[in-house]
Structure 1
Amino acid sequence: MLWTPVPQAVTLHEEEQERCWEFLTAVAESEEEAKRSYSEGLARVAAGSLHSSHTCAWAALWQGCCVDLEGPLPLRQALYGCLYYLLSAIPPQDTPGFLFHGISPGGLSNGTRGEDYWGHIFWDQDTWMFPNILLFYPEAARAILEYRIRTLKGALLNAQEQGYEGAKFPWESAATGREVCPEDIYGAQEIHITGDVLMAFEQYYHTTQDQKLFRMDGGWELVSSVAQYWCSRMVWSEEEQCYHIRGVMPPDEYHHQVDNSAYTNAVAQRSLNFAASIARDFLIPVPEEWVECAKKVKVPFDAARKYHPEYDGYSPGEPVKQADVVLLGFPLMYPMSPEVRRNDLVMYEPVTELSGPAMTWSMFAVGWLELKETQRAQGHLNKCYSNITEPFKIWVENSDGSGAVNFLTGMGGFLQAVLFGYAGFRITKTNLRFDPACPSDVSKLEVTGVSYLGSKLKFTITKEEMRIGVTKCPLHPPLEAVLEKSGQRFPLHEGATSTRWREKAFLHFTHAVLIPGQSISFPTAAGWIQRAPSERL
């Protein structure tokens, strides 16, 4: 790392109206590369072109990847800031062979003397940042997964040392996949991280159908090892006739050594279901143990109150550090009725630490947007603004200013509230769903560069109309949009038959043969993007 020293103070002389200072930092994996980049930067400073080249590069990037809306300026600024910092932390798109080492909660942060988590990798990467990156840049998402594959050997040793089979990913990861958390309690008990890692693999597989990662590049070994770990971690309860996972710390770190954390058990179940599903895709025999454990693992549920207790013995009203049970609805998409989803939100909303980690309130917002209570959702999203510091929209981990600086985890949650909340995107095994729900002060939402099965799409959403445009369209697989309520289909590929149809005097589309640059439109409604029928597996 080479840099221009930044002085403690800069002075504007009395006769000067304005002055510009430029400070340069180059970060690379080798001294040679750092020196080359630093020299190039100094040359651009001398030529007066450093800032303009930066601006041009970002302008080109925004054309293919952007989230914008017509609404309050602070909301727009927060969105641009979050996307800017997150994109700055991912692997370069044009560097073959680049070895990526994951994203720490603070990105390229200090990482010394215990600051900013020493630059270690947590579930922050896989659960909070990854889904946003995947929607726009699946190549960068793949690099994140490759980091986990490279550290699989360490994960296998972690499980072995704790007396279990398979792979247990560390709560804090660095170069090897061995546990590097300085406090043993987290590495031993916060085991949901292993399911969080696999959920990222599942989302990637369903979005890209990249079988090579799993068949040839180590993905299957990781998937099967995680399934093996969860099976070995479960114990059968004769009394309840189900499997328990005991002695864990849930995402809510105020509690430890609890049994049957709802989130931990649900993410374990999802891991096992995905492992079985991908095995079937690859014609690999599915161990009966995977199916049995997934089917019979306990996920606590209070039938009288119709909500999910955080763990066995949780009493309503107990304080909660951060989003935990509310994550069952999203991102886990654990099956439940709208009534139960609402009860979970109502139960945990008043007892969740107000000054806790920044990403928490984003997930409450997603939950209320699911239920179409848009203004209540926006109230929660507004709480995130106390974590944003001016003038460069730097996020801190906690609203009191403590914790990691440039907290990418909070930014990831905020982006998800818009992408998976306002736009209502959901990644499933067979499609990319959308179900828009914007608050009253957002009149238009534009999401540019959404990647799905090789295509690039642009979504433009208002309260009355939704438009989907194709910005990149490979020959295969051809896609279509389907409306949930009416079942109407809209081809999103070249070669479809040109058709017209009307419903309630509204022209849904006038040209069904879509090529890059064309679009379809229809009254704003829920639906999904999927393979066209002839191409579906």
Structure 2
Amino acid sequence: MNHWHINEDTFDPTLKHILSQETVFTIGNGYFCTRGTFEEGYPRDNVATLLYGVFDHIPIAKEELANAPDWTRIQLFINGERFRLDRGIILGYHRSLNIRQGTVQRSVLWISPSGVTVRVTSERFASLDDEHVGAIRYSAKIEDAPGGEPCEISVISALNTAEGNYDVLHLETVDQSNVDDIQWLHCETKKTLVQIAMATTFDSETTGFTKEILNSDIAPGIRYNGVLQQGQTFDATKLVTIYTSRDAVNDPRNAAIQHIQKLFADTKQPYDQLLANSREAWNAFWERADILIVEDKEAQIGARYNIYQLRINVSSHDSRYSVAAKGLTGFGYRGHIFHDTEIFMLPFYTYVMPEVARNLLIYRYRLLDAARVKAANNGFQGAQFPWESTLSGEETTPSSIIHPETGEVIPVLNGFIELHITASIAYAVWRYWRVTGDDTFMEKFGAEILLDTALFWVSRVEEDPERGDYVINDVIGPDEWHEHVNNNTFTNYMAKKNIEYGLAIIDWLEQHAPEKAEQLTSKLDLSEQDFSHWHDVANKIRILQDPQTGLFEQFEGFFNLEPLDQSKYHNRTDSYQGILGVHAIQKYRVIKQADVLMLLTILAEEFDEKTKRANWDYYYPITDHDYGSSLTPALHAILACELGETQIAYKLFMKGALVDIKNLRGNTPEGIHAACSGAVWQALAFGFAGLRNEDGKLTTHPHLPENWSRLAFSVQFHSKELPVDITR
């Protein structure tokens, strides 16, 4: 079966649905993403084209991805009446995202207020073959007109700068004009002064129509005027080329103009060729990345949709930026980078697109100096990575937020005391190296990250003279509902591993690259005495585990918290924190997302089955799987598979796979859940397939759901492509 389409067969005018579907029907190619808004617009829509790494400053959270001009706008007027879905009567509606080809198609049968029946169709894509190009094919056919009278038609295609991030407009027009039939727009972000240039054409061969260039600093455009008889169609294609001052060009404006000129020099009708080239690029991607699930259409489409998101939201070559929590699909989290990338998404890139994984880790390497400054400002050595980062590597987590309903100012402590991201980055560096065998990366970039982050942890721990061990106090663990906790097990264990990675890599460097070893130990002022101390810290860091049962305590005092009677909240539509409040939730033994269980999942080889079972039985029932965090369900599925809980694993996997397609958490309008997309891939590869890297060899330990007869995919391992094909 050909399970490659997300379909919408009826038009739902509720704003929540409109905004959610804008996210679902996003197109993109890693250079830019464009939300699935309608070409003609809709009241209170969130039009957005977000460019990889293009930020502007804001008062809170320092900076956010800046909404670029809307290149999709096409306005249709029939006898002076504007086609829009909140007007007239909709007789038929269909929209489809072709995941395999990266295209969105829409068809609407519509009756205007004066009674003209028109069929409007469109197709759009962001070229995966040529990342600077977007394209739309547009048509309007008069199906019926009162009395069979001819209809006056006006169609306006524009580049609209009056689109902001909600109420914030980040762009100012620098200049605008045309070169023959090419309309161009040059604007810049107001604070960061990033130059954005777009060039566009709007071409139609429909006879009897006149073409007019509309110059405007806000919405320069191209207009066609003419008459259609009943049964006749107006057809047009719109192309756009996009460049910024972040690209390796001296003049983005001329680059955009010359690019579109070249498209027409190569062929008179470039749309079809561009689409064919983009399809070919998508085919090549799916040859590497597809996961085949046989006999489960919904799971198959969900898996492919999440893989599609992992592709369109990351650049294939730019190491100056990374994958944001919402990717380039919405304004949620402002385009900031979290540990979501390293823990949830990087495994996909490491096994499927290792060249991209390498760039994402080089992004962290580029920000090492800023991480050193953060550590020093907090009184520590080494490198402490920020909880949220953008381009500079500075901490961009807001210090407080205003509650949207109560107006209460709520402190945000994550940027101050949620520390485990530093160990998560080190973990990702280590795992990338083990999977790819990329020694060059490790020598040039990875080793310094591992040593600098290990140095941070050694300086951050405190020695407890009474117990003779080392503690890490006053932190927030992955379970963000409990703040100012001591010795969070995830944080402490990951810090321990980070130090061990540092010790292992200095040994490796001394054997394989002694000059680099000497260079780094000199740069970081490290001695044999320091490394001896590192060994002591790694061996004696406090880990809260019952030696008899294997049960970990999430943090000191967690077992003494009050139990929460979850049976009282069967019909809830919000998280427990949302219901109980930021402060009240902290006294209860209920957690936002996988914390201890995430540790047992990502470091699976460290723990035996008894330990995993004891902790699963304890922590799984007290985790908010429905509204706590989108990160939770699919990641839990991996451990569930390992413990033989395949039915539970399947349910959790489907919650993750469909989280955006069905807007299960109600916040898809803010953008897709990129980390969840990564967790969905991990659930398939590491959970149901049971893929493991054991002593440098890949093995599988399958746990197929009852309704699957086959699971197949490919991975890259030490520069070789290896197929994994599991059948019942």
TM > 0.5 between the two?
yes
TM norm structure 2: 0.58
In the alignment, the residues of structure 2 paired with residue 349 and residue 293 of structure 1 have an alpha-carbon distance, to the nearest angstrom, of 31
- In the alignment, which residue of structure 2 is the partner of 1:171? 387
In the alignment, the residues of structure 1 paired with residue 680 and residue 269 of structure 2 have an alpha-carbon distance, to the nearest angstrom, of 34
- In the alignment, which residue of structure 2 is the partner of 1:388? 660
Give the C-alpha shift of residue 379 in structure 1: 2.2
- In the alignment, which residue of structure 2 is the partner of 1:57? 281
In the alignment, the residues of structure 1 paired with residue 332 and residue 632 of structure 2 have an alpha-carbon distance, to the nearest angstrom, of 19
Change (3 A) 1:36 1:441: farther
Change (3 A) 1:138 1:225: same
Change (3 A) 1:252 1:404: farther
Give the C-alpha shift of residue 282 in structure 1: 1.5
1:247 aligns with 2:474: yes
- In the alignment, which residue of structure 2 is the partner of 1:152? 368
- In the alignment, which residue of structure 2 is the partner of 1:437? 703
Once the two structures are superposed, what CA deviation does each residue of 1:260-301 show, in whole Å capped at 9, x if it has no partner?
101101111111111111211112568112211111111211
SS in 2 for 1:77: helix
1:446 aligns with 2:712: yes
1:103 aligns with 2:103: no
Q: Which residue of the other structure, out of 342, 359, 377, is the alignment partner of 1:161?
A: 377
Give the C-alpha shift of residue 323 in structure 1: 1.3
Once the two structures are superposed, what CA deviation does each residue of 1:99-138 show, in whole Å capped at 9, x if it has no partner?
441110111144xxxx311111100111111011100111
Q: Which residue of the other structure, out of 598, 617, 622, is the alignment partner of 1:351?
A: 622
In the alignment, the residues of structure 1 paired with residue 311 and residue 553 of structure 2 have an alpha-carbon distance, to the nearest angstrom, of 37
- After superposition, residues 458-537 of structure 1 pair within 5 angstroms as 458-463=723-728
SS in 1 for 2:385: coil
Give the C-alpha shift of residue 16 in structure 1: 5.1
In the alignment, the residues of structure 2 paired with residue 245 and residue 454 of structure 1 have an alpha-carbon distance, to the nearest angstrom, of 39
1:69 aligns with 2:334: no
Q: Which amino acid aligns with 1:388?
A: D
Give the C-alpha shift of residue 56 in structure 1: 2.6
Give the C-alpha shift of residue 36 in structure 1: 5.8
- In the alignment, which residue of structure 2 is the partner of 1:186? 414
Give the C-alpha shift of residue 38 in structure 1: 6.6
1:373 aligns with 2:645: yes
Give the C-alpha shift of residue 381 in structure 1: 1.8
- In the alignment, which residue of structure 1 is the partner of 2:308? 84
Change (3 A) 1:279 1:428: farther
Change (3 A) 1:443 1:196: same
Q: Which amino acid aligns with 2:464?
A: S
Q: Which amino acid aligns with 2:322?
A: G
In the alignment, the residues of structure 1 paired with residue 594 and residue 507 of structure 2 have an alpha-carbon distance, to the nearest angstrom, of 33
Change (3 A) 1:64 1:177: same
CA RMSD in angstroms, aligned pairs only: 2.6
In the alignment, the residues of structure 2 paired with residue 436 and residue 119 of structure 1 have an alpha-carbon distance, to the nearest angstrom, of 36
Change (3 A) 1:265 1:423: same
In the alignment, the residues of structure 1 paired with residue 506 and residue 698 of structure 2 have an alpha-carbon distance, to the nearest angstrom, of 22
Change (3 A) 1:386 1:356: farther
- Aligned residues of 1:138 and 1:451 also touching (Cα < 8 A): yes
SS in 2 for 1:445: strand
Give the C-alpha shift of residue 180 in structure 1: 1.1
Name the stretch that deviates more: 62-71 or 359-368.
62-71
Instruction: Count matched residues.
Output: 447
1:140 aligns with 2:356: yes
Give the C-alpha shift of residue 254 in structure 1: 0.3
Change (3 A) 1:428 1:241: farther
Change (3 A) 1:338 1:39: farther
Give the C-alpha shift of residue 241 in structure 1: 2.6
- In the alignment, which residue of structure 2 is the partner of 1:480? none
Once the two structures are superposed, what CA deviation does each residue of 1:327-381 show, in whole Å capped at 9, x if it has no partner?
1211123633312211212212222122122120112111111122211211222
- In the alignment, which residue of structure 1 is the partner of 2:570? none
Give the C-alpha shift of residue 49 in structure 1: 4.4
Q: Which runs of 5+ in 2 are unaligned?
A: 1-67, 76-83, 86-107, 112-116, 125-135, 137-238, 400-411, 511-516, 518-527, 564-588
Give the C-alpha shift of residue 18 in structure 1: 6.3
Change (3 A) 1:304 1:6: farther
1:4 aligns with 2:65: no
Q: Which amino acid aligns with 1:56?
A: E
In the alignment, the residues of structure 1 paired with residue 321 and residue 536 of structure 2 have an alpha-carbon distance, to the nearest angstrom, of 36
Name the stretch that deviates more: 285-294 or 17-26.
17-26
- Aligned residues of 1:359 and 1:410 also touching (Cα < 8 A): yes
In the alignment, the residues of structure 1 paired with residue 448 and residue 309 of structure 2 have an alpha-carbon distance, to the nearest angstrom, of 32
- After superposition, residues 312-351 of structure 1 pair within 5 angstroms as 312-315=556-559, 317=563, 318-333=589-604, 335-351=606-622
Give the C-alpha shift of residue 60 in structure 1: 2.2
Q: Which amino acid aligns with 1:314?
A: F
In the alignment, the residues of structure 1 paired with residue 538 and residue 259 of structure 2 have an alpha-carbon distance, to the nearest angstrom, of 50
Change (3 A) 1:27 1:292: farther
- Aligned residues of 1:44 and 1:50 also touching (Cα < 8 A): no
Name the stretch that deviates more: 302-311 or 454-463.
302-311
In the alignment, the residues of structure 2 paired with residue 459 and residue 386 of structure 1 have an alpha-carbon distance, to the nearest angstrom, of 24
The structure number with the bigger radius of gyration is 2
SS in 1 for 2:121: coil
- In the alignment, which residue of structure 2 is the partner of 1:219? 446
Give the C-alpha shift of residue 5 in structure 1: 3.4
- Aligned residues of 1:101 and 1:147 also touching (Cα < 8 A): yes
More strand by share: 2
In the alignment, the residues of structure 1 paired with residue 726 and residue 437 of structure 2 have an alpha-carbon distance, to the nearest angstrom, of 27
In the alignment, the residues of structure 2 paired with residue 278 and residue 305 of structure 1 have an alpha-carbon distance, to the nearest angstrom, of 33
Give the C-alpha shift of residue 415 in structure 1: 1.1
SS in 1 for 2:281: helix
- Aligned residues of 1:231 and 1:293 also touching (Cα < 8 A): yes
- Aligned residues of 2:325 and 2:333 also touching (Cα < 8 A): yes
- In the alignment, which residue of structure 1 is the partner of 2:122? 20
TM norm structure 1: 0.77
Once the two structures are superposed, what CA deviation does each residue of 1:414-464 show, in whole Å capped at 9, x if it has no partner?
11100111111234563333222111111111112x11111111111113x
- Aligned residues of 1:263 and 1:310 also touching (Cα < 8 A): yes
Change (3 A) 1:133 1:320: same
- In the alignment, which residue of structure 2 is the partner of 1:275? 502
Percent identical pairs in the alignment equals 26
Q: Which residue of the other structure, out of 673, 676, 693, is the alignment partner of 1:410?
A: 676
In the alignment, the residues of structure 1 paired with residue 478 and residue 646 of structure 2 have an alpha-carbon distance, to the nearest angstrom, of 26
- After superposition, residues 269-308 of structure 1 pair within 5 angstroms as 269-283=496-510, 284=517, 287-303=531-547, 306-308=550-552
1:204 aligns with 2:475: no
Q: Which runs of 5+ in 1 are unaligned?
A: 391-395, 464-537
- Aligned residues of 1:2 and 1:34 also touching (Cα < 8 A): no
Once the two structures are superposed, what CA deviation does each residue of 1:475-496 show, in whole Å capped at 9, x if it has no partner?
xxxxxxxxxxxxxxxxxxxxxx
SS in 2 for 1:69: strand
Change (3 A) 1:417 1:385: closer
In the alignment, the residues of structure 1 paired with residue 325 and residue 271 of structure 2 have an alpha-carbon distance, to the nearest angstrom, of 35
Q: Which amino acid aligns with 2:496?
A: Q
- In the alignment, which residue of structure 1 is the partner of 2:127? none
Name the stretch that deviates more: 319-328 or 232-241.
232-241
